[in-house]
Every structure is written in C-alpha cells, then in structure tokens.
Structure 1
Amino acid sequence: MRIHCFQHISFETPGLIADWARQQGHQLSITRFDEPNPQLPKLNAVDWLVVLGGAMSVHDEARLAWLAPEKAFISQAIAAGKTVLGICLGAQLVADVLGAPVTQNHLPEIGFYSVQFSEAAQRHPLFAHAGAQATFLHWHGDTFALPAGAATVGASAACQQQGFVYGTRVVGLQFHPEMTPEILQQMIRHDGHELIPGPHVQTADELLAGLKHLGEGQQFLVGLLDALALQEQA
C-alpha cells in the first residue's frame, strides 16, 4: 500500500504512523511543505493520504502559496475515494474542504487531556476498538465544525469537536495519536512560547510527565490504522 503524508513543520513528522507503515511493509512518501518548491504526488500514485499538523491556519492562503493546491489535492483525494486521515491542522484542512467552518476555539488546548468518544464513534467500524475514553496530546488553538454528512468522534473538556468520520475512509482527529517523545520535545522547544498559563494549557514539565499516556495513543492509532486497512481491502 502506498501512503503519502503532507508534512507542514520540520519536526511534526508522521511519528508512529511511519512505524506502523514500516511494520506492515507499506510504502511511505512525504511532501514537505516546510521546504522550498514542495511537489504534490500524482493522485493515482497514492492509496492513503495522511495530512499532519502545523502551526499555520487553514485560512493562510495569502501567506502560504502551497496551501490552496494542498486543499485542492485533499478534495480530489476524497472525491476519488482515497483513504484520508487528517491530524490536528490536517483535520481542520479536511473539514475545510468538506465545507465546515474552521474557527478559533474558545480556549487553547495544549496538554495531555481525555477524549470522551461518542456513542456513534464507538459503534463505527473504525473506532470499535477505542472504548469510551482515552488520553491524548492536544496542541491547538483552532477548531472545526462537524462537516455535513460526518459523524462526530468525541469531545474533550476544552473542545467540543475532537474528530469526525466521513463515510468509512475519511477521518479527522484534532488530537495527536501519532505523537512520540522526540516530536513532543521538539514542539516544546520550538513552540514553547504558546504555553501561556490557562485552564487547558499544561506547562512544559507537565507535558513531559504526560508522556506516560503515549501508550494509549499508540493503541488507539494502531487500531484505527488496522481498521482503515481492512476498509481498503473491502
């Protein structure tokens, strides 16, 4: 299987997704939008599209020349029936191309916090493994409305929309199940200025202590990727 990632920030890599792809023997390629002259793949050369996180906004087309072509490719991938997984900014981009508003959340959410999975998600074949709740890393200031025709995945105390599933092949997750210790350390290093004290913002020390929850994220992610792979074979 050919998995292609859209990466927006040098240190926000596919993380555990790359580990899963390697273990399953899948091909993984990456478009790096943080590098000069990023090249989009041919749509027929991609089976899965994974859209990763980043500090920019989905509304930054005037500042980022590659953003409009990226959105167009995501839209084409969905229309072509490709498997599409968006994480954090990636979920916001998928929501945007599906016509849902992306706006500032009422409060920033940065830290390891619990997601309560919706009953609809727990009944869905992609999330049947998830259970009622799990703890994940969150690092975002924006949020999205539920796209028309999509089902909500869950909510946290700070954010009503923690994800959506559109059909059986398109998933958006506001939280970060792909997270590794190395990625988090780089996020703290480069984006630590965002750790402004607030009701849903943890300190750097609290974030590092929260690494104990990465096992929950990994278990959730592997279950989701395995379920998406089964849909690919259907």
Structure 2
Amino acid sequence: MKRATVIRHLGFEDLGNLTEILKQKKYAVSYVEAGQDCLAAIDPLAPDLIVILGGLISAYDEQNYPFIIDEMSLLERRLAADLPTLGICLGAQLMARSLGAKVYPGDEKEIGWSKLELNPIGMHSSLAHLAAEQTSVLQWHGDTFDLPAGSILLASTTKYQNQAFSWGKRGLALQFHPEVTASGVERWFISHACEIDQIPDVMVTKLRQDTKDYAARLEIQSAKFWQAWLASL
C-alpha cells in the first residue's frame, strides 16, 4: 500500500471526506499530532503523500509553537523534491511560508460558505470540480499569504485573493476546506465557539443552516476533485 502521512493540529480537523478517497486509492493513513509527536522524526521524502491540515495557530508563531520550525523544515525539503504534498488552511500557509512568501493577518476573518473564483488555469485543473457553478466551499481563516514566487495561483474569493496555488507538479495549497463533512463541521461550531462569538456577523445558526444547504453537494464535488488530483500525481 501507499503511505500517507497527515500532520494534524486539532483533533476535530481531520481528513474528513478525503479519508474514504485515500482508502479507495489504497493509501495507508497515519496521523502525526503536532505538539505531541516529534515532527522532526518524519522523513520528508519517505511518504507517498504528505498532508498538512488546518489549525488555530498562525504559521509565523514559532515562538509559542516551536514545532512550526520542524514543519517548515519538512516542507522545504518535500517541496524542493516536488513530492506529492497537500496543505489545507494552516497547511497552505505553512507551504507558502516554506517557499519564501509572507504569511500575515488578513483585513478580516473569512468564516462561512462561499464560492470560489477559479482563474483559467484553475478551471483546467482538478479544482474545476469545485468551481462556483458546481458547489460552495467552507472558509475558516483570519490569516493570508503572499503568492510564493514560482507558484501558480488557481483560485480566489472576493475577500481573499490567494485561495489556492500549485507548486511544481505535485504540490497543492488550499486556503479553504474542501474536506469538511456536515457531521464533522458541527464539532467546529463547538470548538470555535469563542471565536464565533467575537465576530458580530457570524452566527452558529447561520453556519449550521448553510452547512445543511451546501455540505452534501460539497462532499459529492470534493470526491471528484480528490480523485482527479490524486490521479494527476
């Protein structure tokens, strides 16, 4: 079987709907828990796929979370070798930073369901399955990043320009969350309660209703997206 190593920063932010797709593709998945397991022990070149998931911390806060240094080192070597690498939200920000781009707070937090705006290159990639006319996607972030030199921008939203970029032939960074499921995201509403309460125009009731309206469709389209992306590696 192929091996997928997944770095997780929060217990409730896992592979979600990507889990079954990796199983179908004969990947053996192993989670590595940031802040608990030794990230420096991961051989950056060994796994067939490395996935860096989301989290509440900032990609530039190694002073408080020193394991970020090990994640950056891993990504630098992995991306230099152009090996299959996927970053979601915080993972995308860590990819951008490891490629020399700046990561910083955005003008406002982007939380909730929205449409992706794919550019022509994005429309000719596996992300076409997540285009605005196909589905909405979940956003949940306050930081953003500059586009790394040598990378290719694939998608934007009205609030954040850099929503997805590719690196080489096998690196993909996604600011948004295509992996979420309707049942799984309910845990986000609980775990992010303090953050939600601090944003006047974000309410759990609205997030829950939008999830009811959009999550099932996202799962269908995400399955197509994951299948297409994995097939391209």
- Give yes or no for TM over 0.5: yes
Query: 1:210 matched to which residue of 2?
Result: 210
Report whether the alignment pairs 1:176 with 2:177.
yes
Secondary structure of the 1:153 match is strand
**Letter paired with 1:208:** R
Query: 1:127 matched to which residue of 2?
Result: 127
Q: CA RMSD in A?
A: 1.9
C-alpha distance in 1 between matches for 2:183 and 2:132: 28
Gaps in structure 1 of 5+ consecutive residues: none
**Letter paired with 1:77:** R
Cα distance 1:132–1:204, how it changes in 2: closer, same or farther (>3 A)? closer
Q: How does 1:115-194 map to 2 (within 5 A)?
A: 115-124=116-125, 126-133=126-133, 134-194=135-195
Q: Give deviations 1:23-46, integer Å, cap 9, x for gaps.
A: 332111111114355564223430
Q: Give deviations 1:129-173, integer Å, cap 9, x for gaps.
A: 444553111110001111111221211122111111122211111
C-alpha distance in 2 between matches for 1:202 and 1:135: 17
**Letter paired with 1:122:** M
**Letter paired with 1:67:** I
Secondary structure of the 1:107 match is strand
TM-score by length of 1: 0.89
TM-score by length of 2: 0.90
Task: Tell me how many residue pairs correspond in the alignment.
Answer: 229
Residue 228 of structure 1: how far off its partner (Å) = 2.9
Query: 1:50 matched to which residue of 2?
Result: 51
Secondary structure of the 2:116 match is strand
Query: 1:71 matched to which residue of 2?
Result: 72
Residue 10 of structure 1: how far off its partner (Å) = 1.3
**Letter paired with 2:114:** Y
Q: Give deviations 1:6-55, integer Å, cap 9, x for gaps.
A: 10111111111112112332111111114355564223430111110000
Contact kept in structure 2, 1:136 and 1:216, CA below 8 Å: no
Q: Percent identity?
A: 28
C-alpha distance in 1 between matches for 2:131 and 2:139: 19
Query: 2:6 matched to which residue of 1?
Result: 5
**Letter paired with 1:202:** V
Secondary structure of the 2:161 match is coil
Secondary structure of the 2:66 match is coil
Contact kept in structure 1, 2:117 and 2:157, CA below 8 Å: yes
C-alpha distance in 2 between matches for 1:8 and 1:65: 13
